[in-house]
Amino acid sequence: MARRTSIYVEGFGHKNPIPAASRVGNILMSGIVFGLDPATGKPADTLDEQCRLMFGHIRAIMQAAGGSTDDIVKLTVWLADRSQREPVNREWLAMFPDPATRPARQAMAGDLDGGKLVQCDFVAVMD
């Protein structure tokens, strides 16, 4: 049995030959997750839509890995315009409504490419 397990998700992938996430033991680390529109293979047009898709991909990655978003301990978000956090916060609150159980989060400005307005990565600890 392999020590490391690569996690792939239907409808979300990278152009390079890398998985959406990698799990070793009970630790899962994602690659970059962004608002990829599965219908076009490109980032969605608006920040709102990119955030909705990005958080949907997070859910799908966690499910494919055998966990849930409750297992996420840290999320790092890069925004093309750091002042535009409202769409991120809206999806964040939908995913993590209980302030007593939210993971840590860091948001920062990023020089994003290919039409991306937001992207993230995350770390999860699973049973």
3-state secondary structure of 89: helix
Evaluated on CA atoms 106, 109, 110, 113, the torsion sign reads positive
> Could you report the per-residue pLDDT of 39-85, keeping only the tens digit for each?
999 999 999 999 999 999 999 999 999 999 999 999 999 999 999 99
DSSP string, 42-61: EE-SSHHHHHHHHHHHHHHH
42 half-sphere exposure, CB direction, 13 A CA radius: 7
Second-level CATH architecture of 4-125: 2-Layer Sandwich (3.30)
Q: Is the pLDDT of residue 14 over 90?
A: no
Domain positions in the chain are 4-125
Global model pTM greater than 0.75: yes
Q: How far is CA 89 from CA 13, 30, 57, 100, 125, in A?
A: 24, 20, 16, 16, 23
